[in-house]
Amino acid sequence: MIIILSSNATDQDVDKVVTNLKGRGYGIHLSRGVEKTIIGAIGAPDEDKADIAQRIEALPFVERVVSILKPYKLVGREFHPERTVINVRGVTIGGDEIVVMAGPCCVESEEQLLTTARAARKAGARVLRGGAFKPSTSPYSFQGLGEEALKYMAAARDETGMPIITEVMDARDIDLVLKYSDILQVGARNMANFSLLKEIGLARKPVMLKRGLSSTIEEWLQAAEYIASRGNYDIILCERGIRTFETYTRNTFDINAIPAVKGLAHLPVIADTSHGTGRWHLVEPVGRAAIAAGADGLMIEVHPNPEVALKDGPQSLKIDTFERLMRGLIPIIEAVGRTPGWSA
């Protein structure tokens, strides 16, 4: 249930309710908005709830007690009506500005990464992506350079000032990835790896949670709930396409999911139209559509020479095509009343 306090509630009032609920076995999550303080009380036995809700509602500083029927509670809009804005080294995700995360699918060499990072930054990208641990379908294909790649990414951040995002595939690598990366990425194949999600929930760095290949919106939001339930609320959702019967595209980018999750959850939403389409010439038009549908930003794979990329060459943009995409996004961003944060 969530307890909405009236605006005159004092810190002592909040403490009183929190202590009482903790004593009854509830897990407590506090959301202090500009206008309201909301206490989320989760996980106590069902039989208590109606009685406790009634008693709390009778307190003079309580406006309302609402039980949340949805299976995701902390990431839902009821608990946190204001949108979550995440600040990563001065880049705000989920605010007014549209943020583009760009970089190669895999970090292949220091030179490949730096060339891409410099060009992406110049074109207006704010976050550098790059895979160090790769979730490859085949055990024989490239698995990533591991820590070496993380070092190159940190060097590229030092030079360009762009915060970095990279995937963590295994709970045993979390500390290593945390040492270098500014945002942890949970890949589509790991969206339902609940033990990984729980461990990541203990980290105090933003996480971008990709939607599973065959996951419903509700399953995706419950995966986000796993992370939030451990106290990490800085979660970015990433729609990256789902499996359908269509084979022309690698995945079917689910445009519906963008306004749907923005309505259901308070978290920022990024659209990965590289994996969402699998074809470089579709990345730009579908990216424009995603921004028009309300996405807070894009994740785009860029490679200086996609023909020789070790992974995902067919969906990677060349540098000049990426520059064109960035210029072309500006009128769409302005049309939906947002700010590009870069100029043509």
Task: Tell me which residues touch Mn ion (CB under 5 A).
Answer: 105, 312
Which residues have a Cβ under 8 Å from the Cβ of 35 and sit 6 or more positions away? 7
Closest CA to 68 of 57, 60, 76, 59: 76
Q: How many CB atoms lie within 10 A of CB 250?
A: 19
Say whether residue 135 binds ligand PEP (CB under 6 A): yes
Say whether residue 240 binds ligand PEP (CB under 6 A): yes
Helix (H, G, I), strand (E, B) or coil at 136: coil
CA contacts within 13 A on the Cβ side of 44 = 21
- Nearest distance from residue 103's CB to Mn ion, in Å? 10
Kindly report the backbone phi and psi dihedral angles of residue 91, in degrees, each rounded to the nearest multiple of 5, phi listed first: -100, 125
Q: Are 120 and 126 contacting, i.e. CB atoms less than 8 angstroms apart?
A: no
Partner interacting with residue 304 (select from Mn ion, ligand PEP, none; CB below 5-8 Å by kind): none
Closest residue to ligand PEP, based on beta-carbon distance: 187
Interaction pattern, residues 166-195, with ligand PEP; x per rule: CB under 6 A: ---------------------xxx------
Closest residue to Mn ion, based on beta-carbon distance: 105
Helix axes 217-229, 257-264, angle to 10 degrees: 40
**Which is closer to ligand PEP, CB of 160 or CB of 215?**
215
Write out the binding residues for ligand PEP, residues 92-111 only, by CB under 6 A.
Answer: 105
Q: What is the DSSP string of 21-46?
A: HHHTT-EEEEEE-SS-EEEEEE---G
Which residues have a Cβ under 8 Å from the Cβ of 66 and sit 6 or more positions away? 1, 2, 4, 78
Say whether residue 200 binds ligand PEP (CB under 6 A): no
**Which is closer to Mn ion, CB of 40 or CB of 306?**
306
- Nearest distance from residue 189's CB to ligand PEP, in Å? 6
Of 104, 131, 201, 206, which one interacts with ligand PEP (CB under 6 A)? 131
How far apart are the C-alpha atoms of 86 and 204, rounded to whole Å? 12
Of 210, 250, 288, 338, which one interacts with ligand PEP (CB under 6 A)? 210
Partner interacting with residue 303 (select from Mn ion, ligand PEP, none; CB below 5-8 Å by kind): none
Partner interacting with residue 240 (select from ligand PEP, Mn ion, none; CB below 5-8 Å by kind): ligand PEP
**Which is closer to ligand PEP, CB of 74 or CB of 208?**
208
Point out which residues bind ligand PEP (CB under 6 A). 105, 131, 135, 187-189, 210, 240, 275
